[in-house]
Structure 1
Amino acid sequence: MSYQPKFVGQHEPRGEVHAFSGPEWLVGVGFRCWIAGYDTGDITCWENGWNTYNRVLGPARAKLAVTELACWVRAVRAATSRKIEYNSLDARRFCADECMAMSLIAASQHQGCPAMQACALALTGSDTVDPVIDAANAFADALDEADYRLNQEIVAALVASEASARGGSVAAPR
């Protein structure tokens, strides 16, 4: 099976959303790989995600983090009322949904309850976000245990950059 990504605004200019390392990048890439794996049924997507987490965190920490990542992405997919968008696995930028996913995990790590709710609502387009928030908290905790804490300011800059590229909106096309 070949990998066919679902691009956001394929013909629209994108902002330069740079995060090539660190916790933000790890969350964005993990989210992308897991969503793509579920979308395409191509196990290579999940293998790429696992290999990235294993390389960055080591096998023991990666096992817990990837387990919680998979549960979180499954919860997002179950709750969503729309197609979640993502960039190709090798993309150097993050799309709006990927940025919103990173924002949700950052808000969880920094105990931002209203922000978590807003991010979950924006990401899923659904009011049924409690399971998404619970799974996000578990994933955020696993990253904390691995000493990987997202920086809210970097995530905010990623979201702002993507919003700027979309004319002021981080919402994906519906």
Structure 2
Amino acid sequence: MSYYNTIDGKGLQAAGQVQIPQREGAEWLVGVGFRCWLAGYDTGDIACWETGWNEYNRALGPERAKRAVTELACWVRALRGCASRKIEYYPYGCAGFCADECMAMSLIAASQHHRCPAMQACALALTGSDLVDPVIEAANAFADVLQEADQRLNPDAVTALSAISRNAAPVASVAGRG
């Protein structure tokens, strides 16, 4: 069984991962949603997406979760479509987040707090490409839906998560195009 298929909740504790102790809140939803959607696209296993859906449904309720997950899927699809490099992620059960997961959280936080240069920088870092407009548009739509669901990321996440994530080592990755 590869790391990609470790979505069953057991996960791995990798050396150097960023520790985010709370398994709730806006940052957690963005990180775990990003992780589950990447794993789902990579493996084609619907269980990955179901795991992500269950987290959103638990946190937001079915109506708000449906809207949020729809925008999450659009954002991750746009990101994968624009990426010219591998996007990395940890298995579902990991307590921390890797550099790309943290950068994704920073992108959504930057969107919610209207920090356009930071959004651009995060999108460029995630895609490895100058083609970031579709990613930013989809990130804005996702950030707006989260905000409407009372899930506002901390403004400090814009810089703090991206800064501490530079030392994290991922255990799984997914091809940028899919």
| TM-score computed with the length of structure 1 as normaliser | 0.86
Q: CA deviation at 1:159?
A: 2.8
Alignment of 1:36-51 (within 5 A): 36-51=39-54
Which structure 2 segments of 5+ residues have no match?
6-11, 170-178
Q: Partners of 1:145 and 1:165 in 2: how far apart?
A: 31
Show the counterpart of 1:94.
Answer: 97
Q: How many residues align?
A: 161
Residue 152 (structure 2) pairs with residue 118 (structure 1): no
Alignment-mate amino acid for residue 50 of structure 2: E
Show the counterpart of 1:171.
Answer: none
The 3-state SS of whatever aligns with 1:65 is helix
The answer to whether the Cα contact below 8 Å between 1:28 and 1:101 also exists between their aligned partners in 2 is: yes
The answer to whether the Cα contact below 8 Å between 2:106 and 2:161 also exists between their aligned partners in 1 is: no
Alignment-mate amino acid for residue 121 of structure 2: A
| TM-score computed with the length of structure 2 as normaliser | 0.84
The answer to whether the Cα contact below 8 Å between 2:17 and 2:97 also exists between their aligned partners in 1 is: no
Alignment-mate amino acid for residue 82 of structure 2: A
Q: Partners of 1:21 and 1:3 in 2: how far apart?
A: 27
Show the counterpart of 2:175.
Answer: none
Counterpart of 1:134 (choices 134, 137, 159) is 137
Q: CA deviation at 1:21?
A: 1.7
Structure having the higher strand fraction is: 2
Pick closer, same or farther for the CA change 1:128–1:16 going to 2, 3 Å.
closer
Q: Partners of 1:104 and 1:117 in 2: how far apart?
A: 8
Q: CA deviation at 1:83?
A: 1.1
Show the counterpart of 2:30.
Answer: 27
Show the counterpart of 1:14.
Answer: 16
Alignment-mate amino acid for residue 67 of structure 1: T
The answer to whether the Cα contact below 8 Å between 1:3 and 1:42 also exists between their aligned partners in 2 is: no
